[in-house]
A = this chain, B = another copy of it.
Amino acid sequence: MGDSVSSARKRTAFFISDGTGLTVEGIGHSLLAQFRDQQVEQVTVPYVDSEARVNQVLQRIENAARESGLQPIIITSIVSDQIRKQLHQSSALMLDVFESYLAPLATLFGTDPARTVGISHGIADNRRYTARIDAVHFAMDNDDGRRTREFESADIILVGVSRSGKTPTCLYLALQFGLRAANYPITEEDMDSTSLPKILRPFQRKLFGLTIDPRRLVSIRQERRANSRYASPEQCEFEVRQVEQMLRRAQVPYLDATELSVEELATRLMSQAGIERRIG
């Protein structure tokens, strides 16, 4: 049962893929997050697609084992049987996603897996590629209220105070889901009343608000403009309160961005607003 861990000796987990490594890395992060008390060095090794590369990686794994005295972990999704077999020679604990799941799927389908590398993140088809890139350019062009004449063709328009997380969320929605996401900052000029700014009213159905804990907003704004009025507790509290009133009054749905990552904001707001992805 498990070897003991000292702070000096850190176990290493290797996320090994013949492609980008993003999938196994995601699995690895999720699994290891369930063992917070364990100190684990996490290393992603993408594009392991030749005998030479596997041998390099095997060497690295045995070094990690020897230096720490702790059995390393491998999480892998290598497709090639040949390369997987080489990898299985290591002394690490092996969690092999393809080995675990391809067999039951093959049985269900009554057909063998293709064992072809790197299909999942490929550009797949032109239509998908174009939709994605267009969405990215749309998000760039329609960031920060820079342009509003394309709001008509937006899938969603995020609104909120400056630095509430609108820009990264829009870009993520574009890259990951191909959505045309615009954003519009509610600035002080808009706060004389708690009605929606005029420019937004025709698009009420498409609006989604982000709000944020004023103390968190202060700390984010301080990083940007230390000791400014913009970053003062009074100003941040005023802006957040005004915008929340505005959103409630106009019945615009909103999320509190304080504790949420960009991924969480994007997926939660899609789910809450009932917006379907365009790609993926």
Chain A contacts to B: CB under 8 angstroms? 1-5, 19-23, 25-27, 29-38, 46-47, 71, 73, 75, 77, 79, 93, 95, 97-98, 100-102, 104-111, 113-116, 118-124, 126, 129-130, 132-134, 136-137, 140, 143, 165, 167-168, 171-172, 175-176, 219-220, 223, 259-264, 266-268, 271, 280
Beta-carbon nearest neighbor of A259 in chain B: B123
Nearest chain B CB to A136 CB, angstrom units: 5
Query: Smallest distance from the beta carbon of A207 to chain B beta carbons, Å?
Result: 22
What B residues does A171 contact at CB under 8 A? 136, 171, 175
17 A-B residue pairs with CB within 8 Å: A2-B111, A20-B267, A22-B26, A22-B176, A27-B77, A27-B97, A29-B120, A31-B101, A32-B105, A33-B119, A34-B114, A46-B267, A47-B271, A75-B101, A95-B100, A95-B104, A130-B223
Also in contact, A264 and B20, with CB within 8 A (given A2-B107, A175-B172): yes
In the complex, what residue of chain B is closest to A77 when comparing beta carbons?
B30
Given A37-B111, A271-B47, do A105 and B31 touch, yes or no (CB 8 Å)? yes
Are A1 and B110 in contact, with the CB atoms below 8 A? yes
Of B47, B75, B110, B223, which one neighbours A268 at CB under 8 angstroms?
B47
State the CA gap A121–B93 with chains docked (Å). Answer: 25
Please name all residues of chain B whose beta carbon is closer than 8 Å to the beta carbon of A261 when the two chains form the complex.
121-124, 129
Contact across chains for B79 and A123 when beta carbons are under 8 A apart? no
Q: Which chain B residues border A271 with CB–CB below 8 Å? A: 46-47
A263: shortest Cβ distance to chain B, in Å?
Answer: 4
Contact B264 A136 (CB under 8 A): no
* Set of chain B residues within 8 Å of A132, measured between Cβ atoms: 168, 262
Residues of B within 8 A of A175 (CB): 168, 171-172, 175, 262
In contact, B93 and A108 (Cβ under 8 angstroms)? yes
Contact A113 B259 (CB under 8 A): no
| Contact call B100/A167, Cβ cutoff below 8 A | no
Q: In chain B, what residue has the closest Cβ to A5?
A: B109
